[in-house]
Structure 1
Amino acid sequence: MNAANEQKSGTLKFSDEVVAVCAANAALKTTGVAELAGGLTNALSKTILGKELLSKGVKVSQGEEGLSIDIFVIVEYQVNIPAAAWDIQEHVKKEVESMTELPVGAVNIHVQGVHIPEEETPSHD
């Protein structure tokens, strides 16, 4: 799917990957997000190509109300999860609409895990 934006002299089309990268970057900048959860596609890309997709953890589709963006996140331990999800939704919607001028109808957050930092272990001399 390509999302299109009509211009005066033609059409500007965005691939799902471009929108997903914008959304992923916005989500990662949000307080409380540890990382995005990659699925099978990212695992295969990492295995075969030796690199992670920049859009890992994001799925973009075209809905009746505009773009529908699903984001799969791992949040930091002790973060207020509903508040973090709200912040992610707002940040992603604002950033994608600002960068592409395409309407975002929905940003769905899927919390896949909680990142618990490893405690520093004391060194033994």
Structure 2
Amino acid sequence: MTENIINDEKEFGSIKISNDVIATIAGIAATEVKGVAGKSMGFTGGITEMLGMKNLTKGVKVEITNRVAKIDISIIVEYGVDIATTGKNVQENIKKSVETMTDLLVPEVNVNIQGVNMEKEEKEDELVVQ
């Protein structure tokens, strides 16, 4: 677990925030955006998985250098949403949440759309067939 020192003041000691904490904040912020169905496991094996609250850091990569955070996140969107707008909203919400909660600068949030969730449409089709 990588930790990053957030303050340089030694009056009371240092504050360290784990990359997992940043990833959790980013994961929650992404799932708050309307149109996001879930997060993807990422690039490994092409396998995507809808994730619940227990796996908030899955599909999120965080790199921190000199109090600047670069965040990559893989998500799945709902069928029918404007994908570009949803991606921009995810970027903005992650940036705002991480900067507000950690005092880090977040100049870069890369959103990778890994899939489209069509579950609602499939359920409606099942109801019609039966």
TM-score (norm 1): 0.81
Instruction: Give unmatched runs, 5+ long, in structure 1.
Output: 44-51
Name the structure 1 match of 2:4. 3
Please list the CA deviations of residues 71-106 of structure 1 after superposition, one character each: whole Å capped at 9, or x if unmatched. 100001111111111100000000011111111121
Q: Confirm or deny: 8 A CA contact 1:65 1:105 kept in the other structure.
A: no
Q: Confirm or deny: 8 A CA contact 1:96 1:104 kept in the other structure.
A: yes
Q: Secondary structure at the match of 1:70?
A: strand
Percentage identity across paired residues of the two chains: 39
Q: Secondary structure at the match of 1:105?
A: strand
Q: What number of residue pairs does the alignment pair up?
A: 115
Q: Which amino acid aligns with 1:90?
A: E
Q: Which amino acid aligns with 1:111?
A: I
Q: Confirm or deny: 8 A CA contact 1:66 1:104 kept in the other structure.
A: yes
Question: 1:16-95, aligned counterparts within 5 Å?
Answer: 16-39=19-42, 53-63=55-65, 66-95=68-97
Q: Which amino acid aligns with 1:92?
A: I
Computed over aligned residues only, the root mean square deviation of the Cα atoms, in angstroms, reads 2.3
1:12 counterpart = 2:11: no
Q: Confirm or deny: 8 A CA contact 2:35 2:86 kept in the other structure.
A: yes
Q: Which amino acid aligns with 1:95?
A: S
Q: Confirm or deny: 8 A CA contact 1:38 1:56 kept in the other structure.
A: yes
Instruction: Give unmatched runs, 5+ long, in structure 2.
Output: 48-53
1 or 2 for the larger relative contact order (CA 8 Å, sep ≥6)? Answer: 1
TM-score (norm 2): 0.78
Question: 1:101-120, aligned counterparts within 5 Å?
Answer: 101-116=103-118, 117=120, 118-120=122-124
C-alpha separation in 1, matches of 2:23 and 2:82: 25
C-alpha separation in 2, matches of 1:82 and 1:100: 27
C-alpha separation in 1, matches of 2:5 and 2:72: 19
